[in-house]
A and B are shown apart, each in its own frame.
Chain A
C-alpha cells in the first residue's frame, strides 16, 4: 500500500512562471490537505479538499494560489506567477475520514519549490 506520493520532489521556477505540484493520496483516502513549510518554521495549513470539492481554503493566499482534487487523478496545487517568497516545501497529506479523532493525516515527502 503505497503512501502519499508527491511529485516533483524538487521544482525550480523563475519569477513569473507557474508551478504545479501534484499529490496522489494513499489508497482508499479521499481527503487531501496541503501545508506549506517555510525555512525554520512549522507547517502551515493551506487547504483541505475532498474529491471535486474544496472544503476549507482558509490558509490559501487570496491571489495566485489554487487547488483542485478532481474525480480522477491527483490533487494539484497551482501557483501562478511565482515570486521568491513562494520558495518553500509544500506537503500534501491524506486521510481516510473527514472528521473525528481517528482522522489521522499521513504526509508525503513534499515538493521543494525554489524560485529564482
Chain B
C-alpha cells in the first residue's frame, strides 16, 4: 500500500517557470513532511520540510504548501533553473514512530532553456 502518493512522475518546465509537484498521504499520524532532492548518482538531500500546523513554508525559491484537511502537500519551485533538474521526493514521518521516512515515488524534473 502506497502511503504517500506523488505526482506527476515527470515534469518538463521552461527556465523561469514554476514547477509544481503534488503529494497526498493517507496516514493522519504523519506529522513531518520533508522534501528531498536527488541528482543522478547521488543520495537524496533534504531540501525543505514542513509540519502540519503550518500551511506554507518558503525558503528561497522553494515553497511547500500544506492542506491538512485534504491530506495534501505540494512543492513549488519558482523561477525554475536548469540546475534544478533532478528527481524530487516527498516524504512523511511519524514522530516517535520508529524514525522511518515513507517516501513518494519521485518526480523527475527537467528544466529546459
Contact = CB atoms under 8 A, between A and B. Distances in A.
Contacts of B46: 104-106
Is chain B's binding surface mostly helix, strand, loop or mixed?
loop
Contact of B99 (A40, A41, A103, A106): A103
B100 A59 contact: yes
Contact of A45 (B89, B102, B106): B102
Given A42-B106, A101-B32, A108 B99 contact: no
Contact of B51 (A43, A55, A101, A107): A101
Interface in A87-110: 91, 93, 95, 98-101, 103-110
Given A55-B98, A100-B95, A101-B95, A109 B43 contact: yes
A21 to B, nearest CB: 13
Contact of A43 (B6, B45, B95, B101): B101
Contacts of A104: 34, 46
A43 B100 contact: no
Given A100-B95, A101-B95, A45 B44 contact: no
A4 B98 CA distance: 20
B61 interface: no
Interface of A: 4, 6, 31, 33, 35, 40-45, 48, 55-56, 58-59, 91, 93, 95, 98-101, 103-110
Interface of B: 4, 6, 31-32, 34, 36, 41-46, 51, 89, 95-96, 98-106
